[in-house]
Amino acid sequence: MASIISKKIGGHTYYYLAESARVGGKPRIVSQRYLGKAADIEAAIAGATAMPDRTRHLAFGDVAGVWGMLERLGVAETIDEVVGPRRGDAGASVGTYIALAVANRVVDPCSKRGFSEWWRTTAGDRLVSLPQAALDHRRFWEAMDAISEEDLKEIERRIVTTMVEVFGVDLSGLVLDMTNFATYIDSANDRAPIAQRGHAKQKRTDLRIVGLGLVVSVDGGIPLLSHAYPGNRPDVTQFPAMVEELVARFGALGDGADELTLVFDAGQNSEDNAELLEVSPLHFVGSLPPSDHPDLLAVGKDRYEAVDPERFPGLSAFETEKVVFGARRRIVVCHSEGLHAKQSQGFDQTLGKARRQLSELAARLARGKTRKPRERVEAEIAQILKPRWLTRVISTTLTGESPAELRLSFRTEAKARAALEAEIFGKRILFSDKDEDLASTARIVADYRSQEAAEGDFRQMKDPKVVSFSPMFHFTESKIRVHVFYCVLALMVARLMVREADRHGMHMSVRELLESLAGIEETVLLYQGERGRPRARRMLTEMDATQQRLYELFRLDAYAPRR
């Protein structure tokens, strides 16, 4: 039973909310809660019923969810252990600045100049208490300059070790892949040799690029190793450094190397890389360019058998052995009906475009208006037929010698098209050191298809809205390497969050997860008195069923405002 009681102390009356119960058959006060003086109670009642003068809405759910993951991974503490204590005039430790940069990359990527403005729109001031001056972009730059390339490797090793221990990530399947990202560095800048012009996968040939290699787990597509390198170096040359570092980390990762399978695509194939894998403890599954092995493509349909109709509908394969890069390897040649249909459709589009261009050229020549000599017209025809396989299907005849006499005719060879489809379309050639005792045909196929994990990670990093590599305006080698590091760390956090949600029955993409969390906002009610600063009351917005589950899963109550 509850009642309000009063106590006089020093001439003042104080009120308490008392709870009574029978103890040993007699009434006793079992708990009491201080309410204050009469004026305090009156003010509290007035405050509870008064309308606020104004409100503010702050981002909470996504920022708090990411910050919670960073704390579970011990990111700030790990960085500070490796880098050392902060400078006496620093607003925060190096680890804190990098953790803040990661949070921004996951939720709403912006430049360091824009960070302070973004941070004010969030409930971050309750997660990390920092003076406004500490959020100046120059403080971030100073923190980035404090981390060396060797520091980055050691920090990543330690964080990955913690991640595997805390989240129990399965390391038996690993995927290695590489890509590159455009930068906005001036061509004359010589302070960032890592940014070079090369084969730009984002098609920005006008910009200098930075290469990034990743090894990710098949379990959740979580980054385990990153490797930044100059954009003008071929991907295949970076393979040895990544494999050697991966093998060196096995002690930290907590598994024996002989239990792990590394998956990579044909772009990593070379004699040197094959020799490295031969002496390493890793198992591997790779692919071979079909055009390099016409003998395997020529095998008849009767050799193909269904792999696993339930897991891989429309996929058939046959197995053999062949000497590849100096060693006899297990070969799995696959044919996918789905891939066949897509390649056929794509080739139809390419064929249609080439026929239109040839028709326009033939019409132009027929009018006798061209001034191009025969050599230039032949070069134009060769350019039209440059896309792969076209020369096998389209035959051309150019007659005449002078520009006015030139005439072009062409035809599509139906039999050649049919032969091309039967020989190449839908086929992949896989090779591995794993024998049948270690892996079935279906297991080899599943291993190879796990490359989607790395490809999905690269697509995510090129998403301009969340977990994005861009914008990246740094112009020195050290800052670019640190930028790459915290972008990969942001990807790790996002993938772990998606994995945690998936394990609890919520199957969401990174965007869907962050958008749902972003819907959990913090409302600040401001009550302005007669003088002084306004009083503030904080509360969270209403949550739907999914948001409530995410709130509980990521333990957001630890960061929620207290009444």
Same domain (yes/no): 292, 432 = yes
Per-residue pLDDT of the chain (563 residues; tens, 9 = 90+): 667 777 888 778 877 777 777 767 777 776 777 777 777 666 666 555 567 778 889 999 999 999 999 999 999 999 999 999 887 777 899 999 999 999 999 999 999 999 999 999 999 998 998 988 899 999 999 999 999 999 999 999 999 999 999 999 999 899 999 999 988 888 888 898 999 998 888 888 888 999 999 999 999 999 999 999 999 999 999 999 999 999 988 754 545 556 789 999 999 999 999 999 999 999 999 999 999 999 999 999 999 999 999 999 999 999 999 999 999 999 999 999 999 999 999 999 999 999 999 999 999 999 987 889 999 999 999 999 999 999 999 999 999 999 989 999 999 999 999 999 999 999 999 999 999 888 999 999 999 999 999 999 999 999 989 999 987 888 899 999 999 999 999 999 999 999 999 999 999 999 999 999 999 999 988 887 767 777 888 899 999 999 999 999 999 999 999 86
Asked if the structure places residue 464 within a domain, the reply is: no
Host domain of residue 340 = 283-456
Residue 46: predicted pLDDT = 58
Rounded to whole angstroms, the Cα distance separating 227 from 19 reads 63
The domain boundary, picked from 456, 490, 510, lies at 456
Same domain (yes/no): 310, 435 = yes
Same domain (yes/no): 387, 533 = no
Same domain (yes/no): 306, 351 = yes
Same domain (yes/no): 423, 301 = yes
C-alpha pair distances (Å), 292 with each of 88, 149, 278, 340, 423: 62, 39, 22, 19, 13
Structural domain tally of the chain? 4
Rounded to whole angstroms, the Cα distance separating 15 from 450 reads 67
In the sheet with 535-540, reading across from the earlier edge strand, the strands are 54-59, 521-527, 535-540
8 Å CB contact between 339 and 287: no
Same domain (yes/no): 393, 509 = no
Asked if the structure places residue 470 within a domain, the reply is: no
Same domain (yes/no): 301, 420 = yes
Asked if the structure places residue 394 within a domain, the reply is: yes
Same domain (yes/no): 409, 422 = yes
Strand runs (DSSP E) across 326-451, as ranges? 327-336, 394-399, 407-412, 427-432
* Dihedral Cα 544, 550, 551, 555, nearest 10 deg: 170
Same domain (yes/no): 130, 186 = no
Here the CATH number for the domain that contains residue 219 is: 3.90.350.10
Asked if the structure places residue 466 within a domain, the reply is: no
Asked if the structure places residue 462 within a domain, the reply is: no
Same domain (yes/no): 305, 404 = yes
Asked if the structure places residue 248 within a domain, the reply is: yes
8 Å CB contact between 270 and 182: no
For 395-426, the pLDDT digits (tens) are 999 999 999 899 999 999 999 999 999 999 99
Same domain (yes/no): 43, 188 = no
Rounded to whole angstroms, the Cα distance separating 437 from 45 reads 75
The domain boundary, picked from 402, 425, 456, lies at 456
Asked if the structure places residue 518 within a domain, the reply is: yes
The domain boundary, picked from 50, 75, 91, lies at 50
C-alpha pair distances (Å), 188 with each of 184, 192, 231, 301: 12, 10, 16, 57
pTM: 0.85
Asked if the structure places residue 467 within a domain, the reply is: no
Same domain (yes/no): 306, 226 = no
